[in-house]
Amino acid sequence: MLDVESILSADRAHVWHPYTPMDEWRQHHAPLVVTRARGPHFELADGTELLDGNGSWWVSTLGHNHPRLVAALKAQIDRMCHVSLAGITHEPAALLARELAAVTPRGLDQVFYSDNGSTAIEAAVKMAVQFHAQTGKPKKTRFLALEGAFHGETIGATSLGGVTLFRQPFASVVFDCVHVPSPAGDDGSCAPMWGEAFDAVARVIEAEHESIAAMVVEPLVQGAAGMRMYPPAYLRAVRDLCTKHDVLLIVDEVFTGYGRLGTMWGCDLAEVVPDIMCVAKGYTGGVIPMAATVTSERVLAAFAGGRERAFLYGHSYCGNPLGAAVAREVLAIYREEGIVAGVAERAARIADFAHQLQLPIVRDARALGMIGAFELHDRSAGYTASIGWRVYREALARGAYLRPLGNVIYIAPALNIPLADLQRLLSIVEDSIRALG
């Protein structure tokens, strides 16, 4: 018999939770004790089943514990859990790189492995700086990113981050990154006019390109900023601008990749090929952490010519066989079960729902692919707004886990969520928002 009380007391005494005000939390709240996770649901210790509205921070693109992924992991565990990639290769890492290269945008066929979305970004940042240093432009060391950007937790990724609240505590230690206006617009909706945002970035790149190594963007959706969406035309225009001024374009597909927007990659919607692409989260379907930074032979070529010119970077778990075996199986499931094609019908349901949701409390409802976002009116808009947590509690009582982003309620469920479960999730969103009056 599971002793829920001793789990909670150990947690309360020792676990420091992410993005959590621990003092308030320990005094007034208790975490949900989850005992099982299957498909679009997870189950609490008391037997309550909850629909996972955000696929566990967007990783669970194929549903929890997909039987094929679990089987691939078990089979690999029996053969080999880990060896380093230092002068060594193995079947999972080698074949995964080939299979990934087959589905990434044209020309992106060189795969550098790491552990999670943040390290995929960290590798891209270092790659960009070293690339320019070794192609005769050592002054190109600064970065451009969007206001509201989120690229992860390491200091490099934090430096790129454009959410003031997350960046502020580390302002004294982050590196030089120019944050340009987001094409998504202040109200979080898909701004009809992205031209002003483009003019702003064009002014910076034209004036300062000699010191700029790369521009880093989340393609079409700024996730952590509150699911802010922007048009493909902006990304296309940025691609041309970067090419013209020898600024590398790094596209962060950690959230948008693996079909989230209805195409394999977010940048496919803009028909843009970046210089460097970062993938994580759905890459291993929420089973085990792993990531990749994918680039071209042109970028790799800058690292030729001697040991000191090698890319001086590598994590202990680079190319981990368990992660790689799971990531290969993810790609096999995508191929064999038509996961990306299956998004269209579900995406249409989410979009229809967002368009018909007309409530005075909803400031903006928007959708793209397997994302639906509902921005509520609130005086204290932003990540710390409490209104979203009121909806969260209403949703829990109705059978869904809908962790908000401040005043933005959103869903980003598994891509293969059964239609009936999706319909139920959307109904819970509506009822939970309505319950606020």
Ligand X SMILES: Cc1ncc(COP(=O)(O)O)c(C=O)c1O
- For ligand X, the binding residue among 224, 227, 373, 433 (CB under 6 A) is 224
Q: Which residue is nearest to ligand X (CB)?
A: 117
- For ligand X, the binding residue among 122, 252, 275, 375 (CB under 6 A) is 252
Name the minimum Å distance from CB 52 to ligand X.
Answer: 15
By C-beta, is 166 or 303 nearer to ligand X?
166
Name the minimum Å distance from CB 363 to ligand X.
Answer: 23
For the segment 116-175, give every residue that binds ligand X (CB under 6 A): 116-118, 121, 150-153
Number of CB atoms found within 10 A of residue 310's CB: 12
Name the minimum Å distance from CB 252 to ligand X.
Answer: 5
- 245: which 2 tokens? 């001024």
For the segment 266-295, give every residue that binds ligand X (CB under 6 A): 280
- For ligand X, the binding residue among 42, 143, 230, 255 (CB under 6 A) is 255
Helix (H), strand (E) at residue 50: strand 49-52
By C-beta, is 161 or 181 nearer to ligand X?
161
By C-beta, is 221 or 391 nearer to ligand X?
221
CB distance 2 to 45 below 8 Å:
yes
CB distance 388 to 404 below 8 Å:
yes
For the segment 182-221, give every residue that binds ligand X (CB under 6 A): 218
Number of CB atoms found within 10 A of residue 396's CB: 17
> Of 199, 258, 241, which Cα lies nearest the Cα of 59?
258
Name the minimum Å distance from CB 437 to ligand X.
Answer: 32
Name the minimum Å distance from CB 283 to ligand X.
Answer: 10
CB distance 313 to 156 below 8 Å:
no
SS3 per-residue string spanning 178-213: EEECCCCCCCCCCCCCCHHHHHHHHHHHHHHHHHEE
Residue 415 in contact with ligand X, rule: CB under 6 A: no
By C-beta, is 118 or 293 nearer to ligand X?
118
Name the minimum Å distance from CB 145 to ligand X.
Answer: 11
Name the minimum Å distance from CB 397 to ligand X.
Answer: 27
Helix (H), strand (E) at residue 36: strand 34-38
By C-beta, is 148 or 152 nearer to ligand X?
152
Which one of 129-137, 159-167, 175-183, 247-255 is the stretch in contact with ligand X (CB under 6 A)?
Answer: 247-255
Number of residues that bind ligand X (CB under 6 A): 15
Listed in sequence order, the residues at least 6 apart from 147 whose beta carbon sits closer than 8 Å to its beta carbon are 162, 179, 180, 181, 182
- 402: which 2 tokens? 């809908």
The torsion angle over the Cα atoms of residues 256, 259, 265 and 268, rounded to 10 degrees, is -120
Q: What are the percentages of helix, strand and coil residues in the chain, rounded to 5?
A: 40, 15, 40
Name the minimum Å distance from CB 265 to ligand X.
Answer: 13
Give residue 235's identity as a one-letter amino acid code. L
Name the minimum Å distance from CB 432 to ligand X.
Answer: 23
By C-beta, is 96 or 280 nearer to ligand X?
280
By C-beta, is 218 or 394 nearer to ligand X?
218
- 254: which 2 tokens? 């950690």
By C-beta, is 117 or 259 nearer to ligand X?
117
- For ligand X, the binding residue among 190, 225, 227, 254 (CB under 6 A) is 254
Query: What does residue 215 show for φ and ψ, rounded to 5 degrees?
Result: -110, 135
For the segment 31-90, give every residue that binds ligand X (CB under 6 A): none
By C-beta, is 63 or 161 nearer to ligand X?
161
CA–chain centroid gap for 106, Å, is 22
- Assign 257 to helix, strand or coil: coil
By C-beta, is 117 or 285 nearer to ligand X?
117
The DSSP annotation for 285-318 comes to: TTSS--EEEEE-HHHHHTT-SSGGGS-----TTT
C-alpha to C-alpha distance for 223 and 199, rounded to whole angstroms: 23
For the segment 90-119, give every residue that binds ligand X (CB under 6 A): 116-118
Name the minimum Å distance from CB 276 to ligand X.
Answer: 13
Binding site for ligand X (CB under 6 A): 116-118, 121, 150-153, 218, 223-224, 252, 254-255, 280
